[in-house]
Amino acid sequence: MSEPLAALEAVGLGKRYGRRWGLEDCSLRLPTGRVAALVGPNGAGKSTLLRMAAGITRPSAGEVRVFGQSPQDQTIEVLRQIGYLDQERPLYSSFRVGEMLRFGRRLNPGWDDSVARAYLSELGIPTDAKVGKLSIGQQAQVALTMCLAKRPALLLLDEPVAALDPVAREGLMHVLLRSVVDDNTTVLLSSHALSDLATVCDYVIILSESRVHVADDLDYVLASHRLLVASSQEAPEIPPGVVHISTTRSQRQTDVIVRVEQPVTDPAWRVLEPTLEEIVLAYLREQGPRTPTMSPGAHGEAGGTAR
Amino acid sequence: MEPEAPLISFRLDPRTGVAPYRQLVDQVRQAVSLGMLRAGDRLPSVREVVTQITINPNTVHRAYRDLEHEGVVEGRPGLGTFVIASSPSPMTSEERQVLLDELRHWVIRARHSGLDAEGVAALMAAAVRTEDPAPR
C-alpha cells in the first residue's frame, strides 16, 4: 500500500547541543490536513523540532522531510510551502503594518495580499498602525497573518498563543482554523496550554526529555489509553496486557494511566476513559527510562512495569 | 461570502467528557427536536462553525457526516448541509414536563441525602454514560 505524502516526516531525527540532546531519535509522520498539537514541558525539544522542520536548524542525526523534501537541502522549495512562526514573533516595531505586508510580498513569491488585508480588516488592525504600538495580541495576529498570506501548505507555529489573553487567543485560533478550512493547511503548533488544544487538534505529539512518547491521531490516543481506579488499600495488580504509563496514589485511591490494546475487564479496577489532558500529564509525570515509548506503527510490547 | 448570521450557535463544554463531535451532533438533534431547526434549514458551514467556537474543522465534518447517516441532515454539494428531518422523535411539551418533574423529585431526594450540585451532575453523567447505547 503506497501511503500519501506526509506533510512532515521525521526518521531518527536528533539535535545535539554540545553534550546534551535537544531532541533525540524522533520519528513521526504527520499526514496532510491535520491540526497537530506538539505538547511537552519547556526544554522538551518542541522548538528544536519545529526549527529543524523549518530548515533553520540542521539535524545532528536522522532526517526530516516536509512534503517529501528536505528543508536543509531544498530550502527554497520547502520554505515556499511552510509558514513558520517563531516563539519570539520577529516583527519590526518601527514598521507600519502595511510596510510589513509589502516586505512580506517582496520576500514571498506566493504572497496573497488579499488574504492579509481581509484578515487584518476583520481583526480591526489598521494597516497604517505602527507595529510597536499594537497590543501583544494584535502583534501575534499580524505575525500569524504574515504567515497565512504566504498560503503555506504547512504551518509551524511555536507557542502562538502564549502570552495572549483569552479573547486574543480565541481570535487567533479562529483565523488559523479558517485557513485550515479554506486552504486545507496542515498545522503543527506547540503549546503548553493544553486545554485550548483539546478541541482544536486531531493529532497529538507528546514530547518530554527530548523524546517523542506519542505521535498519533487524537482518536487513537484517546481510544488506546485507560484510567484505572482502585482503592489504595486493595491496590490490585496492574492487569496483564497493558502498558503502564503513570500511577498517582492518594491515601484512599490509586489512579493508573495505562496504554491498552484490548479492553480491560479486570473487576478489581474501575475503568474510565481519560481526557487528553490526563494522558499528556501521565506521560510528562513519568519521565525517564521507565516510560515506554510509543511510536507510530511500532506499538510497544505489552506488559508494563507496575510499581 | 456568507452575509447572514448562522441559524444556530454551537457551544462546547470541555468538562462533560463527551467527545466534541458528539456534542455538536447532540446540539443539532436537540435543536431539531425543540423545533429550533426545521426541515430545509441550513446548518452553519464548517467555516462559520470554526469562527463561532474553537474547534477542529474535521470534527465538524465528522459531526455533520454522522447527522447525515442518522437521517437528520443532508449535504448538498456546493450549497451546504440542510436539515431534512423535523423532530425525528417528537416529544410533546407534556411528555417533557413529566420527565422534568420526575427528575426534579430525584434531585430533591439526592439533595436530602447530602449531595451538592456537582455530586448530582456527576451521578447524572455516570447514569447517562452507562445508559448510552453508543459511547463515543
ipTM: 0.75
In angstroms, the CA A284 to CA B135 distance is: 28
Q: Do B59 and A202 touch (CB under 8 A)?
A: yes
- B58 CB within 8 Å of a chain A CB: yes
Q: CB A144: neighbour CB atoms within 10 A?
A: 25
* CATH code matching the domain that covers B14-83, chosen among 3.40.50.300, 1.10.357.10, 1.10.10.10, 3.40.50.720: 1.10.10.10
- A178 CB within 8 Å of a chain B CB: yes
Minimal CA–CA distance to A50: which of A41, A248, A59? A59
pLDDT of residue A161: 84
Window 95-154 of A, Cβ < 8 Å to B: none
Give me the residue label for grid cell 506566493: A110
Q: What is the pLDDT of residues A247-293, one digit of tens each?
A: 998 888 999 999 998 888 888 899 999 988 899 999 988 664 444 44
In angstroms, the CA A244 to CA A251 distance is: 20
What's the gap in Å between the CA of B84 and the closest CA on chain A? 25
Domain edges within chain B: 14-83, 93-131
A273 to chain B: nearest residue by CA? B17
pLDDT of residue A9: 96
pLDDT of residue B69: 94
How many inter-chain contacts (A to B, CB under 8 Å) are there? Answer: 48
Q: Do A273 and B136 touch (CB under 8 A)?
A: yes
At residue B89 the predicted structure's pLDDT band, cuts being 50, 70 and 90, is: low
Mean pLDDT value of segment B58-75: 94
In angstroms, the CA B108 to CA A174 distance is: 42
Q: Do B50 and A178 touch (CB under 8 A)?
A: yes
The residues that bridge with A188 in the sheet, in sequence order, are: A36, A156
If one compares A273 and B93, the residue with the highest pLDDT of the two is: A273
pLDDT of residue B87: 62
Residues of chain A with pLDDT under 70: 1-3, 90, 193, 196, 286-307
This prediction has a pTM of 0.79
Checking if the pLDDT of B136 tops 50, the result is: no
Checking if the pLDDT of B14 tops 80, the result is: no
Taking contacts as CB-CB distances below 8 angstroms, the residues of chain B near A191 are: none
CB within 8 A of B72, min separation 6: which ones?
B28, B29, B32, B83, B84, B85, B88
Minimal CA–CA distance to B83: which of B43, B47, B26? B43
Starting at the edge strand found earlier in the chain, the sheet holding A61-66 runs A20-30, A8-17, A61-66
pLDDT of residue B3: 55
Q: Do B50 and A182 touch (CB under 8 A)?
A: no
Taking contacts as CB-CB distances below 8 angstroms, the residues of chain A near B51 are: 174, 177-178
What's the gap in Å between the CA of B80 and the closest CA on chain A? 14
